[in-house]
Structure 1
């Protein structure tokens, strides 16, 4: 087994992506791809002691045969002395969502939660899977990033690494390996159902391409590799643009963004949204976003609803905002640190501030009382909290989250901004300050 071409491809890919020899968590379905992958990992462990491996079976609940497949995978792992884990996930069909994509997302989440600490998840996708993915995305009109298809390495939201060491191997290579070593596996009969686009390509279209064009698979894989290199270069340049346009707090400077070409503007916004794990907008949505952001007046309010949040404009900057309720008020508090229910803390400092409360005055921390009046120190008159926060440049959606300190019914401090004029003392006073949570 050690001298087979497939093992050599696998060995090079594994060592190229896992030089630290981290544990391997193998995604095992029972099909020929994942079973061959399991045997390759087993051989790696036998040839090079020190490798730690386990297998994980995820039941999507989409097949009546899933129980027997799980039992097969468990027996196989027991015969090879490989630790076996399993979990079931529920995939509910949603309108305008791909069932395949939903099952994939649920599978990744389950694999991530079950895999051993510090391990890399090993996936069995191969070159023909890559070709199918490329053609499907070509059919959908995908751009460069989509046509670059599957990467040999993927980072999950948790930071865990997934690797695909068989992407340079063909389905024929894998099936020949299974025949050579009489490796038993299961057959998923749903793979014959050509109502599904991927199956139609696999069973009807790709065999025609391969019979007509010698070396068709390897040619497409080379093209995909070139697309991935070009996409990586674009991402590198886009990151430089993003760093130029982004403030320290993560907002986009529209003046700097507007100085870029339209193509670079679009890439910067996509990269910026991706930093918040936001789903990529369509071409039309992105054009509308940029048009509103760059052509509206300086003080114009825009609110573009996305998937996880919305994009807002304030004083020449774009903000990505996820709606949150204001913290709960804290009533009758002492001159001591307070932990708010949004994770922030309020601490009390002494020196410049307002006079200390009298014994009969009750201290409270309130939120969202934007109509309350205060005359800030060094300001000409009294006005509402909303007015003063607007003057201070606080975006409208953040104002309800600013802590307001009251002595009984008297507003004495807008934390981080103003002290009540009549309560101000330059020495031996108290003031509240916000500390972000860990």
Structure 2
């Protein structure tokens, strides 16, 4: 691949987003050859695409004694190119059963998201050899189809911000050749040569041998990964249909509906369901344990399986994921018929049997975790606290804090999925549902 081909490859990836969104791009700049080449290519593209806005973020993990020097290098490079530069300092806290590499990666994405301008698409410098190393690492770990599909060219962060990998089909050799052709200065991370790390071992000892022995090995592996991604996409479509018919409005997984699926299909839906709450999937043994105990027990049987992050519990024939460390949702005014909540779900309003419309002087809010709020539910005797009514209805304690509560001023009028205030009831009124 010539330098012009690399330039065209990046242009082909980012141009549709410039035309469609007309927004800025943020290069995740480490100072290494990959991100430096990406920054220079994007800067050159500004002459062809006038509406392209460009900036860069350097994430300083503090894990290397040279981290501050690398930050200074990136800052000077951006100043030379007249590109806005944002430094981001992060602190890595060690956690049990989590690798330092994974912690650093998570912190990096959060910092990139936080420091990038609003609406900006983040550009990552990962390339074809990174993709191949990721594939081999996941093969070593015994990953399934989803894991072996490796990295996608696009990624959406939890905040909804998009990330792009314009160099994902470009080899490291081509990137280094581009840097040589244009005499681009860059840094070399000393830790990349430490073969105690699995990725560095693959990079230094395994992939070069495969590439030398089998002509075009990187491109062939890339085609295989692309096919795996297509197959995963098809599987995801069917899995989403299974999940939609097996999940209630509180994101509980129906043991009864899951029970009609084959074992592989059950395991697939279970992983998809858990993926809504955590990236840390259960082991094969834990998956079998959840399915065996969860789907074969009596309807009122109790279940608690501890995972790396959170628990799977059972209540009234449904499986629930419980993570007590998750921050509670915040109160917000209800200003839309399709309002997004902080957990990513939508609070949707409909016309029908529910409560009367609010008066002009009544503010409508959605709140959470108000156990002492009082209400007289329709067809229930007397006023009492929400805690009382939840207990009466056998609502699991770990579900209660995340059930949306609709208030008119300070009066609780509707408990989504459970109670309607008898004092505000109207046959042709308003009611709310949660859309996942």
TM-score, normalised on structure 1? 0.78
**CA distance in 2 between partners of 1:397 and 1:33 (Å):** 46
Aligned equivalent of 2:30: 29
Q: Given the superposition, is the C-alpha separation of residues 307 and 40 from structure 1 closer, same or farther in structure 2, using an over 3 Å criterion?
A: same
* 1:7 is the counterpart of 2:7: yes
**CA distance in 1 between partners of 2:42 and 2:400 (Å):** 56
How much has 1:199 moved relative to structure 2?
1.2
How much has 1:118 moved relative to structure 2?
0.6
Aligned equivalent of 2:226: 225
**CA distance in 2 between partners of 1:23 and 1:105 (Å):** 23
* 1:249 is the counterpart of 2:250: yes
SS at match of 1:228: helix
Matched residue pairs, number? 385
**CA distance in 2 between partners of 1:183 and 1:88 (Å):** 26
Aligned equivalent of 2:339: none
1:120-141 per-residue CA deviation (whole Å, 9 max, x = no partner) reads 1100000011111111111111
How much has 1:350 moved relative to structure 2?
12
Aligned equivalent of 1:201: 202
1:238-281 per-residue CA deviation (whole Å, 9 max, x = no partner) reads 00111121223322222211111111111111111112235211
CA contact (8 A) 1:245 1:252 kept: yes
SS at match of 1:47: coil
Query: 5 Å matches for 1:157-172?
Result: 157-172=158-173
**CA distance in 1 between partners of 2:2 and 2:210 (Å):** 32
1:193-221 per-residue CA deviation (whole Å, 9 max, x = no partner) reads 21211111111111111111100100101
* 1:212 is the counterpart of 2:239: no
Query: 5 Å matches for 1:45-56?
Result: 45-56=46-57
**CA distance in 2 between partners of 1:321 and 1:343 (Å):** 15
CA contact (8 A) 1:343 1:436 kept: no
Q: Given the superposition, is the C-alpha separation of residues 396 and 197 from structure 1 closer, same or farther in structure 2, using an over 3 Å criterion?
A: closer
CA contact (8 A) 2:2 2:174 kept: no
1:265-303 per-residue CA deviation (whole Å, 9 max, x = no partner) reads 111111111122352111111110010111111221112
SS at match of 1:4: helix
**CA distance in 2 between partners of 1:226 and 1:46 (Å):** 36
1:392-415 per-residue CA deviation (whole Å, 9 max, x = no partner) reads 44335557999xxxxxxxxxxxx9
How much has 1:305 moved relative to structure 2?
2.5
SS at match of 2:298: coil
**CA distance in 2 between partners of 1:36 and 1:3 (Å):** 10
Aligned equivalent of 1:292: 293
How much has 1:342 moved relative to structure 2?
4.1
The 10-residue stretch of structure 1 (102-111 or 187-196) with the greater mean CA deviation from structure 2 = 187-196
**CA distance in 1 between partners of 2:233 and 2:100 (Å):** 29
CA contact (8 A) 2:128 2:218 kept: yes
Aligned equivalent of 1:103: 104
TM-score, normalised on structure 2? 0.78
Aligned equivalent of 1:405: none
Q: Given the superposition, is the C-alpha separation of residues 196 and 308 from structure 1 closer, same or farther in structure 2, using an over 3 Å criterion?
A: closer
Q: Given the superposition, is the C-alpha separation of residues 278 and 181 from structure 1 closer, same or farther in structure 2, using an over 3 Å criterion?
A: closer
Q: Given the superposition, is the C-alpha separation of residues 212 and 354 from structure 1 closer, same or farther in structure 2, using an over 3 Å criterion?
A: closer
The 10-residue stretch of structure 1 (51-60 or 342-351) with the greater mean CA deviation from structure 2 = 342-351
Q: Given the superposition, is the C-alpha separation of residues 350 and 215 from structure 1 closer, same or farther in structure 2, using an over 3 Å criterion?
A: closer
* 1:395 is the counterpart of 2:388: no
How much has 1:319 moved relative to structure 2?
2.4
Q: Given the superposition, is the C-alpha separation of residues 80 and 262 from structure 1 closer, same or farther in structure 2, using an over 3 Å criterion?
A: same
Q: Given the superposition, is the C-alpha separation of residues 293 and 186 from structure 1 closer, same or farther in structure 2, using an over 3 Å criterion?
A: same
* 1:118 is the counterpart of 2:119: yes
Aligned equivalent of 1:63: 64
**CA distance in 2 between partners of 1:320 and 1:236 (Å):** 22
Aligned equivalent of 1:305: 306
Structure 2, unaligned stretches of length 5 or more? Answer: 329-361, 404-414, 425-430
SS at match of 1:38: helix
CA contact (8 A) 1:274 1:280 kept: yes
CA contact (8 A) 1:25 1:55 kept: yes
CA contact (8 A) 1:344 1:436 kept: no
Structure 1, unaligned stretches of length 5 or more? Answer: 327-335, 356-362, 371-384, 403-414, 420-424, 428-433
1:311-355 per-residue CA deviation (whole Å, 9 max, x = no partner) reads 2222322223344999xxxxxxxxx99999846595878999878
**CA distance in 2 between partners of 1:201 and 1:238 (Å):** 33
Aligned-pair RMSD on alpha carbons? Answer: 3.8
SS at match of 2:37: helix
Larger Rg computed on CA atoms: 1
